[in-house]
Amino acid sequence: MTTSDGQTPEVTEEHIERLKENMEKVEELSKRLVEVMAGKTPHTPALDGPNQELYARAATAYWAEAWQNPAKLMEQQVEYWSKSVLNFAEAQRAMTSGQVEETDGAKPDRRFSNPMWETNPYFRFVRQQYQTNAQAIRQAVASVEDLEAKDKQRLTYFSQQIIDMMAPTNFLATNPDALEKAVETEGQSLIKGLENLVSDLEANDGELVVKLADESAFEVGGNIATTPGDVVYRNRMMELIQYKPATETVHETPIVLFPPWINKFYILDLKAQNSLIKWVTEQGYTLFVVSWINADSSHADIGMEDYIQDGFLTAIEEVKSICKVKQVNAVGYCIAGTTLSLTLSLLKQRGDKSVKSATFFTTLTDFGEQGEFTPFLQNDFVDGIEEQVNRDGILKAWIIGRTMSFLRSKDLIYTPAIKSYMMGETPPAFDLLYWNGDGANLPGRMAMQYLRGLCQSNDFVKDGFDLMGHKLHIKDVDVPLMAITCETDHIAAWKYCYHGVQQMGSRSKSFVVSESGHIAGIVNPPSKKKYGHYTNPDLKADADTWLKQADFHEGSWWPMWEAWLKKRSGKQVPARDTGDSDHPRLCPAPGTYVQVKANR
């Protein structure tokens, strides 16, 4: 075997002996592995894959097509056989001659960046045959015609998961990087990798959740989430943080920001250079941020109405009381933006004008199109989630995290797993990935209300979402609003966000598409001068036309949003210190709720 730089490593008897010694350490680690797997609490099998009926329908449709058009099936099979034989013949010729033909110019794949995938006949054959198999599977799935659109989308998604899972880079014997490192380190990389694997399994009660970041490198409130502030109110649902002013005067109307409770709020305050929270205070605003509970089984019966009553409505009232104002400007991010929409409908029906304007970050309100989540929002999966929720009382963070990760499995599952378990590398000290792994559990009742009533039934834009004695509807959202969406967002696709905003009742709407994705498109400070954004005041057209006719602006959308917000934030008043006589400072930001780790 040659190394990636083309050199042949020297393997002596001494190296072999040390390699054997390292391999003996596997026995001890194997015992730990057996113990943790034996103690694993089983979860509902429906969480691991679609109902077999999907594959049965696909197989029926495939063979029906083959029966009607056998020539098509034979053409596909002959093409597959031909490529497989050619791959083998080329490998044989290369082994005999010692020469390998140049690549065919296929699209680069980072998984196969090691030169040995090209220069070594064995690895070249493995790569080529894998790519041939992958093409055959995609071709077979594409040829299935007599399936409903959702079933076809799900079949395409799950077949791609199989393709990605079976990549040769995922297996030691067919991964030249891992094999090279094993020889170079005399097997120590494999020992370290097994230690990483066992450690991850032990940390998650036997569930395989790949650790993405070095957790020892970060401390919430220490080197991340450090913008000065105080918790000024606390109840069973949330802590309300008021941030200290950074200017001598502030706008009269305060901002209350509601982050998603699927994750923790400090994504908006990772470090000073990219902290939206810090930046807002520097623009002269009194900013409050909600930090939600991390649910456990005692929160099983908490529903969407509790988030609205004890979260949104309570926070708004407490902010009004502290700042001695009648209105606030509200911001909702992701699921909190969806719930802010529900809250605004409720306030409209009650005749309450406490919210002066609303800003939505990557917010879905119309779930008629489910995008990349379609594979997971059908009854087989949701039924499985409900069964698990009924057992645990909560929707556990690892289930949510795993689902999100499988939408980007190459980057968030397989590549990190290879580096950690086969290469024995320590995960990087990356604050964003640390935050990504610091998830939150969801109350069981709330999770099912959201999945059934909003995601599946789409009640909010149809006949109305029944909650708190009201039938909440999207047309009731009539305050001045701005929606910030992200061009490559795979969680809340901007086109679907756009459909929702179009149906809102407000006469004053602004819609923005930022470059990049669900996080980077929002956490996009002006100082970075990185991602631009699109604007277009005409919201009557379809989404594609809107973008085609939109104006592109270099740089962050933050200053544009602040200019819009300034017009709705009143006069300047002396900067407010945190809390008041009725709202003592309970503890410094980022508070205590954010420190609670999710149950495994």
Q: Give the H/E segment covering residue 287.
A: strand 287-292
Question: Who's near 82: CB < 8 A, 6+ residues apart?
Answer: none
Token pair belonging to 487? 């061009």
* Contact yes or no for 134/163 (Cβ under 8 A): yes
381: part of which helix (H) or strand (E)?
A: helix 379-392
Rounded Cα–Cα distance for residues 420 and 425 (Å): 5
Q: Six-digit token pair at 16?
A: 């072999």
Which of the residues 323, 334, 486, 497 is marked catalytic? 334
- Note whether 498 and 466 are within 8 A (CB): no
Residue 362 is given by DSSP the state S
Half-sphere exposure of 252 (CA within 13 A, CB side): 11
Structural contact between residues 91 and 118, judged by C-beta atoms closer than 8 angstroms: no
Tokens of residue 52, six digits: 């077999």
Over the range 325-334, which residues count as b (16 or more CB within 10 Å of their CB) and which as e?
bebbbbbbbb
Report whether 557 contacts 512 (CB < 8 A).
yes
Radius of gyration in angstroms for the set of CA atoms belonging to the chain, rounded to a whole number: 27
Residue 551 exposed, middle or buried by CB count within 10 Å (0-12, 13-18, 19+):
exposed
Q: Are 330 and 315 in contact (CB under 8 A)?
A: no
CB 518 within 8 A of CB 546: no
**For the CA atoms of 118, 122, 126, 132, what is the dihedral angle to 10 degrees?**
70
Q: What is the Cα–Cα distance from 269 to 239, expressed in whole angstroms?
A: 16
Q: Residues 189, 202, 409, 52: is their CA dihedral positive or negative?
A: positive
Residue in the structure block whose two tokens are 């969806």: 338
Q: Determine whether 334 is an active site residue.
A: yes
- Helix 149-165 / helix 121-142 crossing angle, nearest 10 deg: 170
Which of 122, 216, 174 is closest to 437 using CA atoms? 216
Report CA-CA distances (Å) from 208 to 194, 222, 401, 416, 528.
Answer: 13, 29, 11, 12, 36
Angle between helices 188-203 and 176-184 (to 10 degrees): 110
Point out the residues that are catalytic: 334
